Structure 1
Amino acid sequence: MNNMIKITVGSSTFTATLSNNAAAAAFRALLPLTLKMEDVNGNEKFYRLSRHLPVAAANPGTVREGDLMLWGTGGLVLFYKTFSTSYSYTRLGRVDNAAGLAKTLGSGDVEVTFELNQE
């Protein structure tokens, strides 16, 4: 199974590797998706998915820039800053090289496309 996806914001594209778990497989099955993600807490982009995904939540201790996570059963979160957290998430994947991600996502709501990487 191809675990590589593309995340596109405007003219910028990042590659990401999906985790090897049921939640990531369920997310992969939804692709392609173009979502209007809202900025939350100045460190993440968030979108409430219309369906629930499998959950295996754990507290990562530290969220890293580029982490793609599930909050609860349907909260898709793309983090663009690294910080300590007390919240639990289900890991969906991670941006392979997050350099420039924060600048690209900006401080407001943004349209983000997630799709399979066919390369």
Structure 2
Amino acid sequence: MENLFCKNTGKALTALCVMAVTLFTGCGYNENTQAKTNSNTATEDHLKDEEDVITNDERSTENMLKLFINDEEMQVIWEENESVEALKNLAEDKPIIIDMSMYGDFEQVGSIGQSIPRNDKQMTTSAGDIVLYSGNQLVVFYGSNSWAYTKLGHIENTSAEEMKKRLGSGDVNVTISITE
């Protein structure tokens, strides 16, 4: 009887060991496969991010809008929206030249010559903001105002004082063109 018990215990232990090895090896394989899959996905995401950076760099030099105030180029961070795309399309044939007029001692405003798509939102502007008003008016701020506009961009690296000096002492011309 004791011999039978030992044989059955031996078989049971052997079976248990085989199951344990299979269980641990199988899980390890799954974890390794999952780790490799995650690693591959991370690598693919990283490569995609690098492609996006290249695309964004190319976009920054190709077909970008330039804005000039009285023939002085301003550094503008343009929004990515339908209105800016429409301005780009208008400027492809020839530069858009806008005669601006002072208004309210905080902005210069002028007609772009036609209506373009707009997505007005209530906002408070600050010096350097460039917005679309009523779908056909370009506004450049040297002060602040609260109204519903479509934001087009912002003039960077220029203080509020410099904007007031540049825009607050008479009418100006604004030219919007495309970099070639």
User: What is the TM-score when the length of structure 1 is the normalising length?
Assistant: 0.83
Deviations 1:2-57 (A, max 9, x none): 47433223353211121111011101222222221011111111112221111110
Equivalences, count: 115
Say whether the 8 Å CA contact 2:76–2:155 is kept in structure 1: yes
Task: Please list every run of at least 4 consecutive aligned residues from structure 1 whose deviation after the TM superposition is greater than 3 angstroms.
Answer: 1-5
Bigger shift: residues 62-71 or 2-11? 2-11
Partner letter of residue 59 of structure 1? Q
Partner letter of residue 19 of structure 1? E
Query: Highest CA radius of gyration, 1 or 2?
Result: 2
Aligned twin of 1:10: 70
Aligned twin of 1:116: 178
Is the strand fraction higher in 1 or 2?
Answer: 1
Unaligned runs of 5+ in 2: 1-58
RMSD of aligned Cα (Å): 1.9
Q: Percent of counterpart pairs with the same letter? A: 28
Q: Which secondary structure does the structure 1 equivalent of 2:114 belong to?
A: coil
User: What is the TM-score when the length of structure 2 is the normalising length?
Assistant: 0.57
Partner letter of residue 98 of structure 1? T
Is the helix fraction higher in 1 or 2?
Answer: 2
CA separation of 1:109 and 1:84: change in aligned 2, threshold 3 A: closer
Partners of 2:168 and 2:145 lie apart in 1 by 21
- Report the CA distance between 1:109 and its aligned residue: 1.1
Partners of 2:115 and 2:97 lie apart in 1 by 17
Partner letter of residue 12 of structure 1? E
